[in-house]
Amino acid sequence: MDLLHGKPVAEKILQQVRDESTALVAERGITPGLAVVLVGDDPASSTYVRSKARMCESLGWKSIVERRAADMTEDDLLALVRSLNDDETIHGILVQSPIPSHIDYERVVETISPRKDVDGFHPVNVGRMVIGLPAQESCTPAGVLEMLVHYGIETSGRRVVVAGRSNIVGKPIANMMLQKRRGGNAIVTVAHTGAADLGAITREADILIVAIGRPRLVTADMVKEGAVVIDVGINRIDDPTSDRGYRLVGDVDFDAVAPKCSAITPVPGGVGLMTIAMLMHNTLRSARGDFR
C-alpha cells in the first residue's frame, strides 16, 4: 500500500509557479495579485485566509485581504467585488466561504469576473470546464488530478467512483475525469448518500474519490481489494487525548481501509495541501492572461 502525500506534489507545483512568476515579472513587468474577501470572523476561515496571504507573500506577489463585519450588506459586498474586478493589479478574487446567511453566495460568485475567478466557481468557468474548453478549474479537484498524475496512477479506461456531488468537489472532478485529458479519460460514476446501498457502488471502483463530508463514512467493506482511495474529506472530531481536544480525520476510515488499498491519501497530509497550491496556479494563469 502506497501513501499518496500531498506535500511533494504541492511543492512541485509551487516551484513551477514561482519560476513562471519570476519570468512574468522579468519579461512583462506583471506581478500577480490576489484579493481575498473575508466577511465575519469564522475562526477556520480566518486561518485559511492567513495561509493564502502568507503563500502570496512567499511568492513575492501582491496580497490584499479585505476584512468586513458579519453585518455587511449584500450590496456593499457586491460593490467591493466590482471594485476588485476593475483593479488591474488584482488578478484573482475569492470571497471566503461560509458567508453570513443574509448574503446570496451564488450572486456574489456570479459578480466576480470569470477571468479573476481563481476558485473556479463562476458559471462561465464551470460551463467551459464541462465542455472541455480552457477555464479556471476548481482548486481541490484540479489538485486531485495533479496527485494522480504525479504518482503515476493510470486513470484512462479505469472505473472511477466519486462519492459526493457538491459543486466544489464532486461534480467538477467527475466532469474532469471523464474528459480526454491528462489524469482523465476514465469511466465515471457519481454516487452519494441518497443511494440505497452506497457500498455496492463504491466497491466497483478502481479509483474511489470520497468527498461527502462525514467522518469515516467509508468503511473497509465498501472498498474493493487493490483500489486507489482519494479521501478529500477533512472533519474535526473530539479527541480528549489531544492537546487541542480534537483531531482531523477524513471521510474514509483510514485504519480499516488502508490495508485493502494499493494506494490511499492520508488525512491530514493528503489532498488538503493541494488546494492552496492550485489556487496560486490559477492566479498565475489569470495574471498571464490565459483566459482573455
Active site residue 179: no
The catalytic position among 16, 41, 42, 52 is 52
Whether 119 is a known active-site residue: answer yes
Amino acid (1-letter code) at residue 58: S
Q: Contacts for 245-254 with beta carbons within 8 Å, 24 or more apart?
A: 249/215, 249/216, 250/210, 250/215, 250/216, 251/163, 251/210, 251/211, 251/212, 251/213, 251/214, 251/215, 251/216, 251/217, 251/218, 252/210, 252/216, 252/217, 252/218, 253/216, 253/218, 253/219, 253/220, 254/216
d(CA 102, CA 73): 8
Q: Which one of 117, 119, 231, 251 is the catalytic residue?
A: 119
Note if 71 is an active site residue: no
Among the listed residues 15, 62, 75, 96, the single catalytic one is 96
- Name the residues annotated as catalytic: 52, 96, 119
